[in-house]
Amino acid sequence: MKTYIKLYFNSEGAPPMEVINTLKSVGFQPVVGNYDFVIEYESPQEYAEILTKLHNALRGKRVSYTLTTTA
């Protein structure tokens, strides 16, 4: 499975490069196109862990995001 993230930055939030480095540190890879990042995984249990890591990593950075998951 893959989960894609589309980010929406806030000028009052963390600098974009800080957000990018944060996402890379929790396993997301930058992509070019309709989405900004992707992560691949095998099981629904991993999905829950990934979402928790993502949410905690972006907390306080004033970044909004949307997720799209494919099988």
Mean pLDDT of the chain: 97
Please list the ranges in the chain whose pLDDT falls under 70: none
Using CA atoms, how far apart are residues 19 and 13, in angstroms rounded to an integer? 10
Q: What is the pLDDT of residues 7-25, one digit of tens each?
A: 999 999 999 999 999 999 9
How far is C-alpha 14 from the chain's CA centre? 14
pLDDT at 5: 98
pLDDT at 17: 98
Using CA atoms, how far apart are residues 70 and 60, in angstroms rounded to an integer? 28
CB 24 within 8 A of CB 30: yes
- Secondary structure of residue 36 in the 3-state scheme: coil
Q: Return the bridge partners of 65, or none.
A: 7
With a threshold of 0.85, does the pTM exceed it?
A: yes
